[in-house]
Amino acid sequence: MWYFFSPDIIYGEDALDFLENITGKKCYIITDRTIKELGYLKVLTDKLEKLGKTFDIFNEVQPDPREELVLRVKHLCNSYAPDLIIALGGGSVIDTAKVIWAMYEYPQYGIDDLHIFNRDLYDLGKKAKFIAIPTTSGTGADVTYDAVISRYNNGVWQKLIQAHRGLVPSYAILDPIFPIGMPPNLTLDTGMDIIAHAIESLIANGKNEFSNALATKAIELSLKYLPIAYKNGKNKEARDHLHQAATMAGLAFGNANLHIGHTTGHCLGAVFTVPHGKCVGIMLKYATQYCLNNPDKDDLSVEIYAKLAKQLGWAKWEDDNKKAANLVIEKLRELYREVGFPEKIQDLGISNGDLEKNLDTLVNLCFQDASGSMSPRLPSKADFENIYRYAYEGKDIDF
Amino acid sequence: MKILTKEWLDAFGKAINDNPAYSEAASWWEGNMLCVIEPSGPLDREVRFFLGLYHGECTGVKLVEEGEEVDVEFTLSGPYDNWVKIAKKELDTIQGVMSGKLRLVGNMAKLMRATRAAQEIVNSLQNVETEFL
């Protein structure tokens, strides 16, 4: 038995109008100040007023939401007693709302109770449906089942990854009106996250026919539309398709997992404080090369990436699989150059001395990152070190 | 070696210690584990065994008698047939837990940081000549 979890998805121009079809009159909106300042919150509240729905708003979600904030919102949400919870924002907002939703349904639960083995959580939605409205195109948080919350513990900030299939929102509304205002650099970083989600999920340990179909389409759409949206953010067609690609990639990795591109990217970002999309976008190429070099003859990575290249018309069906699979790397190179994305860690302004000084920490963190175990090829300590060293210099992985 | 015998369990503990990938992945880990094999298929009684795990080493293994208490941080339980699938690598340990084929009790946040280490424990088992029931 395996499974594929997904919200109901409403997409395209005017997708927000679908709110009229969702039962529930009393909405609790979770968002952040930027969304309010950009006028997006008003777009939503105008729509709700027009539909005769009442609402209360919490607009103070911060990036990397902290446990105490979540507990404060839990109290406010419980007092308001909504029958709809709406998250309007990026990954941090949606993650906060997922946790609030679960703790509203089960007030006796704390954050630690929201884990993959808690069977009660399959039953969310009795008190309120949860609608996720992403305003950026990248995280896939609108369709995934995990939420990252920070906790201060023994003098350090710890990121808790609370995950359960039941935390998948009831609805994801993908209206391109929201990401159209994203600045170019954010478009690029989040767009690289989409591509990393899709490419990694194709060979991750939980891969399946459903996730692979969506990952393939997400790769096709994002390679086509990311450069357009980056260069001309007002291009509605590009924004709409990129927004859809982000959700497809979210469904793909949410059901198939990610692997060492994200593992090494997460740790690089944590140690050197670099944006997530930048890190995973850089590490993707090296992680993919490492997996394509897998000496295990039973591993299917080469076949899977070759099939991708052939399906998307980069290679001919009769081409050698290894040659076709390597076109994934070539396509990434082409994209990096077209949009001016950094191809190596050095490009982030990190010195070689700083990398070497932090290598032990990076590798130890890699071994503790859950996505690392989902790789078809499991790196040793020396492999992790060399992946970082090669990625620093921009060398192709030859081991 | 016949599975779930003392001889097999000793070999399992040795295989963990002979696996450098486990030592690297679990260098930070502190927490003993109890594995509970519930009757199913050819197994007609519950079998429990203890794995002492500390800083990348298996510090001890032991078959746990009925009624005997052991000090562990995690307990992993499931029917024999599902354990066999994991031992044969037909089922990933984490996916097994996520899909309810195995149940785990313990600190989940800590466990989620140890998925690679868990995988290497199973990989170690591949080096133990195992005769299934």
* Digit-coded pLDDT (tens) for A285-315: 999 999 999 999 999 999 999 999 999 999 9
**Does A131 score more than 90 pLDDT?**
yes
A316 and A351, same domain (yes or no)? yes
Q: Phi first, then psi: give them for residue A13, nearest 5 degrees.
A: -60, 135
pLDDT digits (tens, 9 = 90+) for B113-123: 888 898 899 89
- Asked which of A179, A197, A224 is the last residue of a domain, the reply is A179
Residues whose CB falls within 8 Å of the CB of residue B12, separated by 6 or more in sequence, listed in order: B61, B124, B125, B128
A171 and A49, same domain (yes or no)? yes
In A, which residues are within 8 Å of B117 by CB distance? Answer: 367
Chain B contact for A185 (CB, 8 A cutoff)? no
Chain B contact for A372 (CB, 8 A cutoff)? yes
The whole-angstrom separation of Cα B25 and Cα A75 is 40
The helix/strand/coil state of A125 is coil
A167 and A99, same domain (yes or no)? yes
Q: Is residue B74 in a domain?
A: yes
A197 and A255, same domain (yes or no)? yes
- Asked which of A145, A179, A213 is the last residue of a domain, the reply is A179
The whole-angstrom separation of Cα A145 and Cα B23 is 31
Chain B contact for A160 (CB, 8 A cutoff)? yes
The whole-angstrom separation of Cα A132 and Cα A173 is 6
Task: Give the minimum alpha-carbon distance from A181 to chain B in angstroms, rounded to a whole number.
Answer: 36
Q: Is residue B131 in a domain?
A: no
Chain B contact for A300 (CB, 8 A cutoff)? no
A119 and A247, same domain (yes or no)? no
Q: Is residue A211 in a domain?
A: yes
* Residue A159 per-residue DSSP state: E
Chain B contact for A359 (CB, 8 A cutoff)? no
> The CATH number of the domain where A94 resides is what?
3.40.50.1970
Q: How confident is the model at residue A325 (pLDDT cuts 50, 70, 90)?
A: very high
pLDDT digits (tens, 9 = 90+) for A218-253: 999 999 999 999 999 999 999 999 999 999 999 999
CB-based contact B92 A381, cutoff 8 Å: no
The whole-angstrom separation of Cα A251 and Cα A217 is 11
Q: What is the pLDDT of residue B99?
A: 77
The helix/strand/coil state of A130 is strand
A109 and A64, same domain (yes or no)? yes
A153 and A199, same domain (yes or no)? no
Q: What angle, rounded to 10 degrees, do the helices at A381-393 and A276-292 form?
A: 120
Q: What is the pLDDT of residue A9?
A: 98
A169 and A213, same domain (yes or no)? no
Residues whose CB falls within 8 Å of the CB of residue A305, separated by 6 or more in sequence, listed in order: A202, A203, A288, A292, A324, A325, A328
Number of separate domains in chain A: 2
Q: What one-letter code names the amino acid at A86?
A: I
Q: What angle, rounded to 10 degrees, do the helices at A184-201 and A260-272 form?
A: 140
Q: Is residue A2 in a domain?
A: no
**Does A16 score more than 80 pLDDT?**
yes
Q: Is residue B29 in a domain?
A: yes
Residue B101 belongs to what domain range? 6-125
Q: What one-letter code names the amino acid at B129?
A: E
Nearest by CB: B104 against A1, A117, A161: A117
pLDDT digits (tens, 9 = 90+) for B83-114: 999 988 888 887 788 778 888 888 877 888 88
Residue A260 belongs to what domain range? 182-393
Q: What is the pLDDT of residue B113?
A: 83
A174 and A189, same domain (yes or no)? no
> The CATH number of the domain where A212 resides is what?
1.20.1090.10
> The CATH number of the domain where B103 resides is what?
3.30.1050.10
Nearest-CA residue of chain B relative to A161?
B109
Quick one: how far is CA A236 from the chain centroid? Answer: 22
Task: Give the minimum alpha-carbon distance from B84 to chain A in angstroms, rounded to a whole number.
Answer: 16
Q: Is residue A398 in a domain?
A: no
Q: Is residue B23 in a domain?
A: yes
Q: How confident is the model at residue A147 (pLDDT cuts 50, 70, 90)?
A: very high
Which 161-180 residues of chain A touch chain B by CB within 8 A?
161, 163
The whole-angstrom separation of Cα A147 and Cα A65 is 10
Q: How confident is the model at residue A158 (pLDDT cuts 50, 70, 90)?
A: confident
* Residue A15 per-residue DSSP state: G
Q: Phi first, then psi: give them for residue A300, nearest 5 degrees.
A: -100, 5
In A, which residues are within 8 Å of B92 by CB distance? Answer: 205
Q: Is residue B130 in a domain?
A: no
**Does A184 score more than 90 pLDDT?**
yes
- Asked which of A124, A150, A179 is the last residue of a domain, the reply is A179
Nearest by CB: A160 against B95, B109, B114: B109
Q: What is the pLDDT of residue A166?
A: 92
What mean pLDDT comes out for the span B73-81?
Answer: 94
Q: Is residue B54 in a domain?
A: yes
pLDDT digits (tens, 9 = 90+) for A255-272: 999 999 999 999 999 899
**Does B36 score more than 90 pLDDT?**
yes
Nearest-CA residue of chain B relative to A256?
B95
The whole-angstrom separation of Cα A27 and Cα B15 is 56
- What are the strands, taking DSSP E only, across chain A? 8-11, 26-30, 54-58, 84-89, 129-134, 146-153, 156-163, 171-174
Mutate to test the interface with B, among A367, A371, A381, A386 (most CBs of B within 10 A): A367
Number of separate domains in chain B: 1
In B, which residues are within 8 Å of A380 by CB distance? Answer: 20-21, 24
In B, which residues are within 8 Å of A360 by CB distance? Answer: none
